[in-house]
Chains A and B, each alone.
Chain A
Amino acid sequence: MATVTNWIDHLSASEVQGAIYPGVGTEGILVILLVCIWIGWHVIAGRQESEEHQKLARKRHGPNDWKSNITDG
């Protein structure tokens, strides 16, 4: 994975290669991973939120019921 194994050789080359992160050339795969993580997050978080709302909505609390949950720290 290492793009650079010797800094002296790297910086004294006639043209210094700019990209120095590991796995140069695998950027496309990394981007696909990022897209999957991004979309996946929306799906999972959206589902969690819907379930939480449905559960709470079924209990039909009154507008002031929350006050009984106040803690004194």
Chain B
Amino acid sequence: MTKPIIQLLKQIREEDMTDELGALTTIFTEFYYWITVVLMFLIHVGFCMYEVGASRYKHHQHTLMKNTMLIPLVTITWFLFGWWIYWAFPTGPGLAPSIMNESAALITDESAFSAKWYLPNSDLMAVNLGDHISGVFWAAFLLFAWTAASIVSGAVIERITTFAFGICAIAIGSVFWSIDAAWGWHFDGWMLKLLGYHDAYASGVIHAVAGGFALGILAVLGPRIGKFTSSGEPRNIGPRNPWLVAVGLFLIYTGFWGFYAACNIPIFDLGPEYGMEGVTYFTATNIYVTPTTLGGITMNFLMSLSGGLLTGYVIAKGDPFWTYSSGLAGIICASAGNDLYHPIQAMIIAMIGVVVAYKLHYWVERKFKIDDAVGAVAVHGYAGFAGLVICGFVLNGYPSSGYNVGAMWDGTTYAAINPLGMFIGAIVMFVVLGFIPGFIIAKILHGMGKLRIPREVEIAGLDYEIMEEARDDEKSVASATR
């Protein structure tokens, strides 16, 4: 099973900048990912606008700062250890041997895709004429990490401390998203081999895990003051600026285009990759090195968005907040298999995902008194979970990876996509790497007295002093005569 890996190395890592076609392929790939990173930045802009729109006036500026500061925190920790984790952990460790070195240990050897090259002191983690791709790949994965952290951010607004959120953002962005990507979003991941896990556009590895993590924090953090009546009935604390919410969600949709493109390898010769003698076949592939097309996934993106919007409008009786969120939930639900679905299948799956997310949101809110301020657990967590389960049925029997074209270390092949494996995969994402770590970290922060802002501050408003100063400034300027 070493032959395909050698080819992968040749095509991606051994850049030949003296050959025009080879150089063009490298520069195209570099530019392709660079564009996706710029587009994905809009996801974060959208999340910031959305959160501020959903928060109350007296908390606006702190809400914005909380989400904004995850950018540098996740970035520097992604540089220090997040990217290394992705390349080191595909084996578990200890769960399934790597197809590169047949060891189940952390992948830190001399092989082409070893984590060794992505230690923060590696000379590949900088401007390097021998490696054009790693930097933009690092950045694309980092933008995914921001998204995971930003999903959590919305759920906990108006009562978590910025300190606690910073720790949580690093945990989900630079640790747990990175582990889950290594396990289920890597050509060598153990979840592909043993479970037949398939999650092309991250229903689970971004959305279910972040939704589960947010739910874990919410279970400890508690609801905003006033969210529930004394008899336990939930009160609606609707968005204070629906226009900002609308624009924010449109921007998230826009950034999601970049996200989809970033999940692909744009041009790849699968002939030698699959060990087919004399066969040349260039195509786009997903992260698992199985073929798809940018055109096809674009159709599926739009049809699943449409399915989500249509269902959200009806189920929420025209409520704009839920209709926009349902568009997103629809895409998220279909994302696991959007590399292969028919567009109408993608649309129907999206519709199912929205019903699941909407119904579960209100059931969990009433039953467990969970105050998910923006519906993040529902839109990302429940829709993502449902998307993985549905994918197991609809894509049942498809290869989970481009590398189940031959025998692995023990003579077996990668497991094919199957319903049970995808269900277990969904549990791994939402519960094992999402809910449980979120709950434990929140418990520790709570125990330190660092999780929640003081009650008096929540009542007064996080921005009280900033607003007071602004008022005094305005008075002094207004009374000035020169």
Contacts and interface: CB of A to CB of B under 8 A. Distances in A.
A2 interface: no
Contacts of B222: none
Interface stretch (B127-135, B181-189, B297-305): B127-135
Contact of A38 (B76, B126, B474): B76
A18 B128 contact: yes
Contacts of B463: 66
Interface in A46-73: 46, 49-50, 52-63, 65-66, 68-72
Contacts of B474: 71-72
Specify the main secondary structure of chain A where it touches its partner.
helix
Nearest to A69: B467
B450 interface: yes
Contact-residue size bin, chain A (C-beta under 8 Å from the other chain): 35 or more
B185 to A, nearest CB: 26
Contact of A19 (B73, B128, B468): B128
A34 B457 CA distance: 33
Interface string B149-185: 0000000000001110011000000000000000000
A54 B465 CA distance: 12
Contacts of A54: 454
Name B's interface SS. helix
A54 B137 CA distance: 43
Given A28-B121, A38-B76, A18 B161 contact: no
Nearest to A19: B123
Contact of B453 (A17, A42, A53): A53
A49 B58 contact: no
B120 A34 contact: yes
A68 to B, nearest CB: 8
A8 interface: no
Contact of B130 (A16, A30, A31, A35): A16
Given A19-B126, A20-B127, A27-B121, A53 B464 contact: no
A28 B122 CA distance: 9
A1 interface: no
B468 A69 contact: yes
B471 interface: yes
B407 interface: no
B27 interface: no
A9 to B, nearest CB: 14
B470 interface: yes
Contacts of A63: 459-460
A13 B77 CA distance: 36
Contact of B464 (A17, A42, A46, A56): A56
Contacts of B166: 42, 45
B110 interface: no
B113 interface: no
Nearest to B474: A71
Contacts of A45: 162-163, 166
Which 9 pairs from chain A and chain B are nearest by CB?
A: A18-B130, A61-B460, A69-B467, A27-B121, A57-B456, A19-B123, A18-B128, A46-B163, A57-B454
